[in-house]
Amino acid sequence: MLKRTKTCGELTEANICDNVTLTGWVAKHRDLGGLLFIDLRDRYGKTQIVFNEETYPEIFKIARKLGLEDVIGIRGVVVARPEGNVNPDMVTGEVDVEVTELDVYNESAPLPFDVNDRNSANEDHRLKYRYLELRTAELQHNMKVRHKAAKATRDFLDSNDYLEIETPVLMKSTPEGARDFLVPSRTHKHKFYALPQSPQTYKQLLMVAGFDKYFQIVKCFRDEDFRADRQPEFTQIDIEGSFFTQDDVMEMGTSLVQYLWKTVLDISLPDSFPSLSYHDAMERFGSDKPDTRLEMELQEFSEYVKQSEFNAFKTVVDNGGRVKALVCPNNSKYSRKVIDGLTDYMKTYFGAKGLAWMKATDGVLSGGISKFFSEDVQANIRKDLNVNDGDILFIIGDEEKVVLNALGALRLELAKRENLIDENAWAPLWVTDFPLVEWNPDNNCWDALHHPFTSPHPDDLDKMDTDPGNVRSLGYDIVMNGYELGGGSIRIHQRELQEKIFRLLGIADDEANEKFGFLMNAFKYGAPPHGGMAFGFDRIVMLMVHSSQIRDVIAFPKTTSAMSLMDNSPSLVDAVQLEELALSLVKDEPSD
């Protein structure tokens, strides 16, 4: 085998006359008759190699048969390209390698798609041949960025005295939170491990063990339904520290994100990130992960409703509901048909009962529900909400949750339509003061908003028994461009408080003991106050490469139905395997 002396991405005119050996893939083949050009590609770039029938007829004959993606090695001489034939678009465009020796290592079958063009096939097809898609320039780049981000993470945390400690992948199943992936135990029949949804309990135990600064870049697994930014297995940067306050964690998280963006992208993020309470984020942006690259905010509208004749909204306000509005430019684009489309979107996905609107033109509000508002009220609306001619107001009235949720989604939809988001901007922020628990009307119980180990806010402890819905937690999320990059909390480190929370969440004492007894026990033996957070590593890299799908930054991702199209997993297993595990399959119930 020819051992390469150079890569395909480094030869320049400085190398002219050098004898070099290159290895790589045939990326392009241009046969001019007695002269043949091949673009040879490896991880580092492309180099044009030349075969000449006159000088090396034997080699030429073989080279002529080469096809796309054949793997070859060549020895040759670096020569300057003739005048006028330099390719300024290629790093190596000033030189050719005239081939004097050729080895063919592997001939490629006709390709399922063009690896020079990621758009040359549908995604399911590319996923089936993911190892080919990974040859594309885009995915090669994404994997490099992912590597750099992982290395920068380790460098940063290492230099701040964090220890990377691995935790088990086979662990105890807990039904709280997301659905677990289960792994049957052979040696303990009828028992199962679970794959971790996160190493949460382990890292807390590491705090008890005295590893006061821990981190891990770790795979996590959640068996829920998937999205463009959610895969069944994903990677977290998991971090925890002892004697940390919320500010300590947020400071560390800010520094890490700044370091990552600086190191990987050479981008300087602001010295400090803005911080919004959950309440303000919901009121102003209709989201707990607001995209603050966009200024448009939800505006209070109940006052004007009270002064109007619009009974549908008046009833909403009288019944304790909310009415809020968005002001959007370019009202001429919003024909009846377009507005109907938006209304459908609001109704179908966000439970809104409708979408009211008014247009501002020639100094008045017109159309939609404008006739229900007197001239004076209209004037106030225009002044207070800063409405200009050419704007359109969208208004939703409903119970609070629906209003905020729907308008939050509409805000993003309008931003997309109006192109209001600067794609090159970075808008990091913290969201704090999350509610500790949330009422679950289906099961008639309180659910932890973050997780059951999150500490309540010390100022709200007195409300724990009387008004749990208004107890804030010491939980926080970090948000970037409308994506939740990560989140965490100060944890409970006292057995008594933890027991109290479990009871609030409707987890009986013996159940809590069975599931989390090991953690509660650990708290008996000197547990330091501690807290931390976890970042969605895939999402960080996704944002860094300006993608909107984490599949783009995972080497071998799964589909939205959690299948791997390349190796066809999940798949059936042998009866023998099942027998060993003491498992038997239930016949599929006919659906419906």
Positions in 3-42 near RNA (CB under 7 A):
28-35, 37, 39
DSSP state of 171: B
- Which one, 311 or 569, has the nearer CB to RNA? 569
Compute how many other C-beta atoms are within 10 angstroms of the C-beta atom of residue 374.
13
Q: What is the DSSP string of 426-485?
A: --EEEEE--BSEEEETTTTEEEESS-TTBPBPGGGGGGTTT-GGG-BBSEEEEEETTEEE
Residue 235 beta carbon to RNA: minimum distance, rounded to whole angstroms: 14
Tokens of 419: 């192109």
- Which one, 126 or 314, has the nearer CB to RNA? 126
Residue of 120, 160, 307, 513 interacting with RNA (CB under 7 A): 120
Give 535's strand partners: 237, 486
Residue 33 beta carbon to RNA: minimum distance, rounded to whole angstroms: 2
| # binding residues, RNA (CB under 7 A) | 72
Residue 412 beta carbon to RNA: minimum distance, rounded to whole angstroms: 9
- Which one, 86 or 265, has the nearer CB to RNA? 86
Tokens of 184: 């049957």
Tokens of 528: 């330091």
142 touches RNA by CB under 7 A? no
- Which one, 233 or 303, has the nearer CB to RNA? 233
Applying the rule CB under 7 A, the residues between 222 and 251 that interact with RNA are 222, 224-225, 227-230
DSSP state of 559: -
- Which one, 89 or 376, has the nearer CB to RNA? 89
Which residues are CB-contacts of 288 (< 8 A; sequence separation ≥ 6)? 278, 281, 282, 431, 434, 477, 484
Residue 126 beta carbon to RNA: minimum distance, rounded to whole angstroms: 8
Is the preceding peptide bond at 570 cis, omega within 30 degrees of 0?
Answer: yes
Q: How far is CA 454 from CA 13, 491, 525, 528, in A?
A: 61, 5, 20, 15
Residue of 3, 17, 54, 572 interacting with RNA (CB under 7 A): 54
- Which one, 12 or 311, has the nearer CB to RNA? 12
Give 439's strand partners: 446
Contact status, residue 508 vs residue 537, Cβ threshold 8 Å: no
- Contact map string, positions 270 to 309, toward RNA, x by CB under 7 A: ----------------------------------------
Tokens of 538: 């895939």
Residue 355 beta carbon to RNA: minimum distance, rounded to whole angstroms: 15
Q: Which stretch binds RNA (CB under 7 A): 111-119, 262-270, 367-375, 574-582?
A: 111-119
Residue 397 beta carbon to RNA: minimum distance, rounded to whole angstroms: 19
Residue of 93, 341, 367, 528 interacting with RNA (CB under 7 A): 93
Residue 204 beta carbon to RNA: minimum distance, rounded to whole angstroms: 11
Q: Which stretch binds RNA (CB under 7 A): 16-24, 123-131, 142-150, 252-260?
A: 123-131
Compute how many other C-beta atoms are within 10 angstroms of the C-beta atom of residue 225.
11
Q: How do beta strands 475-480 and 428-432 pair?
A: antiparallel
546 touches RNA by CB under 7 A? no
Applying the rule CB under 7 A, the residues between 145 and 204 that interact with RNA are 176-178, 197-198, 200
110 touches RNA by CB under 7 A? yes
- Which one, 314 or 539, has the nearer CB to RNA? 539
Reference 368, options 414, 334, 318; nearest CA is 334
Q: What is the DSSP string of 475-535?
A: EEEEEETTEEEEEEEEBP--HHHHHHHHHHTT--HHHHHHHHHHHHHHGGGTPPPEEEEEE
- Cα–Cα distance for residue pair 211/241, rounded to 1 Å: 8
Q: Which stretch binds RNA (CB under 7 A): 164-172, 221-229, 296-304, 379-387?
A: 221-229
- Which one, 363 or 441, has the nearer CB to RNA? 441
Applying the rule CB under 7 A, the residues between 417 and 476 that interact with RNA are 447-452
Applying the rule CB under 7 A, the residues between 345 and 404 that interact with RNA are 348-350
Residue 251 beta carbon to RNA: minimum distance, rounded to whole angstroms: 23
DSSP state of 564: B
Which residue reads 């060549």 in tokens? 74
Residue of 91, 104, 111, 209 interacting with RNA (CB under 7 A): 111
- Which one, 120 or 302, has the nearer CB to RNA? 120
Residue of 559, 566, 578, 581 interacting with RNA (CB under 7 A): 559
Which residues are CB-contacts of 75 (< 8 A; sequence separation ≥ 6)? 2, 19, 20, 21, 99, 100, 101
Residue 190 beta carbon to RNA: minimum distance, rounded to whole angstroms: 25
